Chains A and B, each alone.
Chain A
Amino acid sequence: MNTLIVVDQPPYGSWAGREALDMVFSLAAFDQPSALLFVGPGVNWLRSNQAPSGINQKSVEKNLSAAPMFGVEAILADRSACERFGLTEATLVAGVTLTDSVPDTLDGYRHVAFAG
């Protein structure tokens, strides 16, 4: 069973994205093939050098960087959303695979879920 967890909301405005990360880490911990897909404003999760200390939050960048260690197979992002939010190779965190077709990506997974 392979599962894709989708994040479509920017970080820091709600807890759903962090809970999406917990879901994918949990799948990986139970040896279930899993990946993350960032779409729409959710691609802002992937911006490097985030500095949320001014709002007393911990950077999600650090959480996300743990994904490969947990065994999450891929961090995917919609290329057009990245372009829309001005994310280039220079401003993206490492290890992100860009996809040109979200529908094709979704087709590759048996389960697709949002955190909320």
Chain B
Amino acid sequence: MSKAIAYTIVITGAPWASQAPQTALMFAREALLAGHRIDRVFLYGDGVHLASALSTPPSDETHWPRAWSEFLEQQNIPAAACIASALRRGVIDETEQARYELAASNLRAPFEIAGLGEWVEGNLKSDRTLYFHGSH
């Protein structure tokens, strides 16, 4: 087998608005099966909607946020949503709820809220950074 590659995955397309989260999940599963590694997942721009705990698709559709959460927990892969992208789009953890005195929080575990520094670190530490966009 060829050398294992460590990836950082960046998702910028939202579920139900783009195919990005689905394609990224299929890639991530296959990459692990092939012996590669996923160092971290970073949600940016509209991709932060994947970390909403309130998405409620019809029961006969794949629940992409849940599917991603389960995958991340099973594989113990850290995942973060960009704080600036998330706050603008109403994806809020308890800390930000308290800070901005908001009515609710809705961040889905195991996602965390983090700065772009997480993405910079991913660029530095992983062999490759792969982007899954909604519009490119």
* Of the residues A8, A16, A23, contact of B116 by C-beta under 8 Å: A23
Question: Is A116's CB under 8 angstroms from B46's CB?
Answer: yes
Q: Does B124 belong to the interface (CB within 8 Å)?
A: yes
Question: Is B131's CB under 8 angstroms from A114's CB?
Answer: yes
Question: Is A26's CB under 8 angstroms from B45's CB?
Answer: no
* Of the residues B84, B123, B133, B136, contact of A32 by C-beta under 8 Å: B123
A19 to B12: give the CA distance in the assembly, Å. Answer: 10
Question: Is B120's CB under 8 angstroms from A19's CB?
Answer: no
Which label, helix, strand, loop or mixed, suits the secondary structure of the A interface? mixed
**Cβ contacts under 8 Å, A116 to chain B:** 12-13, 44-47, 133-136
Give A16's nearest chain B residue, CB to CB. Answer: B45
Question: Is B123's CB under 8 angstroms from A19's CB?
Answer: no
**Cβ contacts under 8 Å, A3 to chain B:** 123
B7 CB to nearest A CB, Å: 13
Could you jot down 20 A-B contacts, CB within 8 Å? A15-B88, A16-B12, A19-B44, A22-B116, A23-B116, A26-B120, A27-B120, A30-B120, A32-B120, A32-B124, A113-B10, A114-B12, A114-B133, A115-B12, A115-B44, A115-B45, A116-B44, A116-B45, A116-B133, A116-B135
